[in-house]
Amino acid sequence: MATFLQLCQRVRQECGVAGDGPASVLNQVGVLKKIVDRTQRAWVDIQASRPYWKFARNQTTFVLTPGTREYSIVDDLAVTSLDRFDRDATFLFEVDGNDEKALDWITYSELRARYRTFPDGRPSKIYEGRNRTIGFERTPDKAYTLTLDYWMTPELLGQNADEPSLPEHLQDVIVWKSVMMFAGNETATELYQYAKSMYTPIYLQLVADQGEMPPTLKAYPLATGSHTISSRGFS
């Protein structure tokens, strides 16, 4: 796997910038700072170009506390880089795991409109509340285990040894995106066009290999009733 420093060194080489380095991604000036900044930004832009990437998927497992209905996403679930939850992959089970069932997501507004009390029991619905919390329509009566799939926010490369969460064979997409950004800023048209010709097929391969279909979007009223369009089709 290439490190952030190695990616920057490769970008400098492909940009045709004379000399060596950078020897570090830290405290650079002049053209080498531009190289570092463009490489850092290129990876963020690639991640932000689509909402769902396999390499950005993660999962957390958390044991609910009986009598506690709401939990902090950051402090309790230890999820610090949440972009969005995969609402097709949220499950609850008892400690032995033999009765795993999917939870239905509702909005906080639905919770407020539908529920005034929260009796003890096994939750069947989950919502994302205010101030980065999740909660349930019932107060857990047992130490159920919750598993949540989610997509992470774009990662930022900042240290020499940082590595992008990307399969190694696709990491050239960062290099050529960086070269395009550098060439565009320097009005180096021929370099930009060459970098683009290298970037485009790798990016398309990245989408084919790592792009994911969106999860459940919304309920659409159809002729036969209300159906949900999700990553698994109509239901």
Tens of pLDDT, residue by residue over 58-108, are 999 999 999 999 999 999 999 999 999 999 999 999 876 678 999 999 999
Buried b (16+ CB within 10 A) or exposed e, 18-50: eeeebeebeebeebbebbbbbbbebbeebbeee
Looking at the whole model, is its pTM more than 0.85?
no
Question: Residue 195 — very low, low, confident or very high, per pLDDT cuts 50/70/90?
Answer: very high
Query: What token pair was written down for 211?
Result: 């792009």
Confirm if 137 and 118 have CB atoms less than 8 A apart: yes
Question: Residue 232 — very low, low, confident or very high, per pLDDT cuts 50/70/90?
Answer: very low
pLDDT for the residue numbered 215: 63
DSSP one-letter code for 75: T
Handedness of CA 72, 74, 79, 85 (dihedral sign): positive
Q: In sequence order, what are the residues at sequence separation of 6 or more whose Cβ sits closer than 8 angstroms to the Cβ of residue 230?
A: 88, 215, 216, 217
Mean pLDDT over each residue of the chain, to the nearest integer: 91
Distance, in Å, from the CA atom of 68 to the CA atom of 86, rounded to the nearest integer, reads 23
pLDDT for the residue numbered 229: 44
